[in-house]
Amino acid sequence: MREIAAGTHTDPFGNQVRISRETLDRWIRRYRAGGFEALVPAPRRLAARTDAQVLELAASLKRENPTRTVAQVARILRTATGWAPSESTLLRYFHKMELMGGAPGEAPAVFGRFEATEPNELWVGDALHGPRVGDRKTYLFAFLDDHSRLAVGYRFGFAEDAVRLAAALRPALASRGVPAGIYVDNGSAFCDAWLLRACAKLGVRLVHSAPGRPQGRGKIERWFRSVRTQFLIEVADTTSEDLAAADRSRHRVVGA
């Protein structure tokens, strides 16, 4: 132990360091008490106070992407620093800095609530327009179990057609079983002959919503809203030039 303490060692970052006997003894006690996991340092926690630097970092994150929610900013802060102010504190600060803009829209119509009584009684399907990747539009097809609100199947694709719809639905059927019914809108992909035949062969009742009548679609619309506010807001549109530049950068790193 004395020889280890007297020597010079290379740390994981390539720096030459010396480790005192007291530190070695402390590590040994931790290892004996809790194994390897006890040696992993805990994430550094900022002082339990809301200082100006943390609030300014939060404001910078909000200015960088105004569509970020307070919850999203708080999660980014916790990931980056190990701590974040409460969401109510962030919300008050954003209002104070006039970062919570947005004109109120027309109040949506209110429809009666509906929920299936058990899992696999009804799946609700829909498609969401996603970001552009390499100058190409993307679409997210998803199916939600109406009772459990579980996303049973989902898939991004470059076209809003039956091929991409099938790529989301087939794995859902394989892993979750066959539902009694599927409820979709009147989009061309959901009216395609492939879906009609598949449901007929499986004995699934296929129901299309009436145009302009969104009853029963609130759950998947809320799920899509979560996808937008918690995931897609961090995904920027890209062009083919962006992808080519990223590919060149990756090759430089791999080849270095």
Confidence (pLDDT) at 249: 78
Using the predicted structure, report yes or no on whether residue 111 has a pLDDT greater than 90. Answer: no
Over the stretch 147-200, which tens digit does the pLDDT of each residue have?
999 999 999 999 999 999 999 999 999 999 999 999 998 888 998 889 999 999
**Residue 145 pLDDT more than 80?**
yes
Over residues 97-119, the mean pLDDT reads 64
Helices (H), 144-217: 162-176, 193-202
Q: Is the pLDDT of residue 46 over 50?
A: no
Rounded CA-CA distance 88/149 in Å is 28
Q: Using an 8 Å Cβ cutoff, are 243 and 217 in contact?
A: no
